[in-house]
Amino acid sequence: MPMSTRLRALASWLALASLMLALSGCASLQPAGTVADAEGWHHVPLPGKTPTRYAASHKDGRAAVAAVSESSASMWRRRLDFDSAALGEISFAWWVPALPPQASVANVDQEDAAARVMFGFQGDISRLPARTRMMFDLAEALTGEKPPYATLMYVWDAKAPVGSVIINPRSDRVRKIVVDTGADGLGRWRDHRRDLRADFKLAFGEEPGRLVSVAMMTDSDNTRSQARAWYGAVKVPEQHCGATAPPGCKP
């Protein structure tokens, strides 16, 4: 493999590792001076990326988080602590005016999305293939923390059919389920209810581990374009929060 190709692959994988680590909920990745809202949501930049802007807003009569991406990528994240036995139905909503040109969540060089809702899970890393464990060890050496065992994303893609399960080309520990596709539904609220446990089993072929984070993400860094979205509330079964519950949980 030519050196330039290897360097691009390494840069792409490190960006993925940064994303996975951010989803793990590691305190070390929360930027200094970040102010969390009443529910514990806070902005998380990704190393080497221009950050997407997130702000409280309203859209078509709903309270929302507005996301503006200009060749940028970062997350609006909340830490969680859910036992796998507590997982069940979750809901979320987004309002998207347009999709980033040329974006595709199946193409590593064009892997942008106007709207994503993502969940990070713990698990037994020792069960993973040796190559994957080596990548996790590299990420830990570079950042001081291991990535989550698995990351499940719900995405709006330009072309992939609804229901598609897309494995990230750089790591099979990140898998995406397409819940909206193409222009159908643009310019209005799209409400989704999902069985998180069933979707994890669909995507990964196994039972989920402990749920440690949820995040929203609008990005356009790979296509060097622009994207906007408004996110409604992401609702999880908070009555089942764990012993180290984040703000807003109701044991």
- Per-residue pLDDT at 57 exceeds 80: yes
Range of the domain at 179: 3-29+36-240
Q: What angle do CA 51, 52, 56 make, to 5 degrees?
A: 125
- Per-residue pLDDT at 34 exceeds 50: no
Give the mean pLDDT of 40-62: 91
In a domain, 133, yes or no: yes
State the pLDDT at residue 84: 86
In a domain, 248, yes or no: no
State the pLDDT at residue 147: 76
Percent over 90 (pLDDT), the chain: 54
Helices (H), the chain: 3-23, 130-143, 196-204
In a domain, 246, yes or no: no
In a domain, 195, yes or no: yes
State the pLDDT at residue 97: 97
In a domain, 247, yes or no: no
In a domain, 106, yes or no: yes
3-state DSSP of 131-169? HHHHHHHHHHHHHCCCCCCEEEEEEEECCCCCCCEEECC
Helix, coil or strand: residue 213: strand
Structural Rg of the chain based on CA atoms: 17
The C-alpha atoms of residue 157 and residue 80 are separated, in whole angstroms, by 26
- Provide the pLDDT confidence category of residue 108 given band limits of 50, 70 and 90: confident
The C-alpha atoms of residue 82 and residue 120 are separated, in whole angstroms, by 11
Chain centre to alpha carbon of residue 16: 11
CA distances 150 to 95, 146, 220, Å, are: 27, 11, 23
CATH number at residue 175: 2.60.120.200
- Provide the pLDDT confidence category of residue 38 given band limits of 50, 70 and 90: low
In a domain, 250, yes or no: no
Looking at the structure of the chain, the number of domains it has is 1
